[in-house]
Structure 1
Amino acid sequence: MTKTLIFLPFLLLFIVGCASTIDTANMTSEQRFKYAMDFYNDEEYDKAIQEFDAVMLQFPGNEIIDDAQFYLAKSRLARTEYILAASEFSRLIRNMPASSFVPEAQYNLAECYYKLSPPYPLDQRYTKKGIEEYQAYIDFFPTDPKVPEAEAKIKELNDKLAHKAYNAAVIYEKMDYDKAAVAYYDNVEAIYHDTQYAPMASFKKINVLIGLKKNEAALKEIESFLIKYPQDENYLKVEELKTKLEKSAPETAKK
């Protein structure tokens, strides 16, 4: 009798455990998807991923598939698995182009690369990919409500690329590779003309050209600076440089 009483709690636990086990094999597609969504809403993303995968394997061609694919990608994103999430969002966009989830998937695809974008001194492949995907979102869904956010993110990522290019020019200048520095400052102005680094690059280029005694080229860059950047903090300094160059070489100023 004593042995039976000792064994009884374990038997009850076993029975309760078996009773609480959910048989997913016989669920309909809607039931299986809801089962997965319950994990997603409870932020149990690892289990949600398993269940969304199971939905797609068990019900290929079902109308619920794009829902499962989208929330599988969202689960990866929530787990900060950005490369895997990007792959899943891309799969939805590529394989289910008629899905109502495509606009949000495209935005979230760009978000994955935004999250992967490293500090400016490092390799910027993900930064460039983020810009590309945000631009695709804007081009294909120009009336979508998140377009202003995408535009702001593009500007932020472009600033990072400009910072990297500007920093490279500064390094060349410090190493006395002045011709290379001028070329890099030119690139910053040409490619990233709508960033804060464009006037900075122009100002630095003017000073490098003066150091190289290329006064005519410096004056040309000064004229360009004064036209393009009238509100820049270095505007008065550039005007002073112009005055000095014109006084020291009046014949150059006439050209």
Structure 2
Amino acid sequence: MLTASIDVSRIRTAATGVLLSCLSAACSSTPAYTGWTPDQLYEHGEQAFGDGDFGEARRAFERLVLTFPGYERAVDARHYLAQAFFRDEEYLSAVSEFTRIVQVFPDHTRSAEAWMGLCRSYAALSPHPQRDQQYTFQARTTCQNVANDFRGQPEGDSANAVASAMHAKLAEKLYAEGHFYFQRDIYESAELIFIDLLAQYGRTPAAPKAAARLIEIYDEWGWEEQRAEFTTRLLNQYPDSPEAQALAAPVAADTTSTVRSRAPPAYEAPGIRRTAR
């Protein structure tokens, strides 16, 4: 009798486990937030966002805007959704949501914040200077437009700072290209790139470095007029730069130049005037 009792108990325990498993499976197959009102979804998403749980905030706001597109705070929900993507470093998704806000709801009070979010998202996508700079160009253009459209406002000031950072990054990219040729003694190519850099990015930290390299190139070629021109330019336009200060510092009497002498190129580069030879 004891054995039979034990067997029945085991059967009942197993049956209970199967039932609980089925109930659990049924519950897990039920869509999240079923039966929730839009206000409940909004409050839940807002709370999750405030707590730093951006994944949960994203899920709540996605359900809200998909299920209740006509909700009175739908634009605010989309803004939270875009910000949640940004905080989770899903920048392309953030770009998509911010773009939707500024294009579909351009007059909404969230529009300025969305434009700034778009600016920051493109900037976050900007890679290391040695890689392709497509997103850096996009960030600079977008942020400069935001700075112009919201001039005098906090969003405009912030966007202008980001645009300047992207501009400087593009200058560093171009300087790295010129320096690549400079280090390998391909001075003709380096010269053209550095001159282009000074024309396009004359107010960036890369500019005095480019001017200093040009001085070295012209010094090696023996082009005194061009060397004097860029020496004056470096000292006058970038007096606080390390390159200008190094140039203005007295040279020790026993210092020996390490630049190898080489004849200047025999060709005339397009668009470049060279009078001293």
Deviations 1:28-64 (A, max 9, x none): 4323322433443444433433332222222223322
Write the distance in 2 (CA, Å) between the matches of 1:178 and 1:189.
16
Change (3 A) 1:50 1:135: same
Structure 2 equivalent of residue 77 of structure 1:
86
Query: Once structures 1 and 2 are overlaid, which stretch shifts more, 168-177 or 136-145?
Result: 136-145
CA RMSD of aligned residues (A): 3.3
Structure 1 stretches lacking a partner, 5+ long? 242-255
Letter of the 2:203 partner, please give it.
Answer: D
Query: How many residues align structurally?
Result: 240
**Contact map agreement 2:91 2:125 (CA 8 A) in 1:** yes
**Contact map agreement 1:30 1:64 (CA 8 A) in 2:** no
Letter of the 1:183 partner, please give it.
Answer: L
Write the distance in 2 (CA, Å) between the matches of 1:3 and 1:158.
73
**Shift of residue 181 of structure 1?**
0.9
Letter of the 1:50 partner, please give it.
Answer: R
**Shift of residue 9 of structure 1?**
9.4
Change (3 A) 1:138 1:236: closer
Q: Does 1:139 align with 2:151?
A: no
Structure 2 equivalent of residue 121 of structure 1:
130
Structure 2 equivalent of residue 172 of structure 1:
181
State the TM-score, normalized to the length of structure 1.
0.78
Letter of the 1:86 partner, please give it.
Answer: V
| Among 190, 193, 207, the residue aligned to 1:198 | 207
Change (3 A) 1:228 1:46: closer
Structure 2 equivalent of residue 253 of structure 1:
none
Change (3 A) 1:127 1:12: same
Change (3 A) 1:211 1:54: same
**Contact map agreement 1:188 1:201 (CA 8 A) in 2:** yes
Letter of the 1:62 partner, please give it.
Answer: Y
Instruction: Report which of the two structures shows the higher radius of gyration computed on alpha carbons.
Output: 2
Deviations 1:177-234 (A, max 9, x none): 2121111111221111111221111111011012222222222223333332333444
Change (3 A) 1:24 1:116: closer
Deviations 1:121-168 (A, max 9, x none): 111222222222222222222233244443333333222221111111
SS class of match (2:72): coil
- Within 5 Å, give how 1:169-248 maps onto structure 2: 169-235=178-244, 238=247
Change (3 A) 1:217 1:53: same
Letter of the 1:151 partner, please give it.
Answer: N
Would you tell me which structure has more helix in proportion to its own residues? 1
**Contact map agreement 1:172 1:178 (CA 8 A) in 2:** yes
Structure 2 equivalent of residue 106 of structure 1:
115
Structure 2 stretches lacking a partner, 5+ long? 1-7, 252-277
Write the distance in 2 (CA, Å) between the matches of 1:202 and 1:22.
63
**Shift of residue 66 of structure 1?**
0.4
Change (3 A) 1:213 1:87: same
Write the distance in 2 (CA, Å) between the matches of 1:75 and 1:238.
50
Write the distance in 1 (CA, Å) between the matches of 2:239 and 2:184.
31
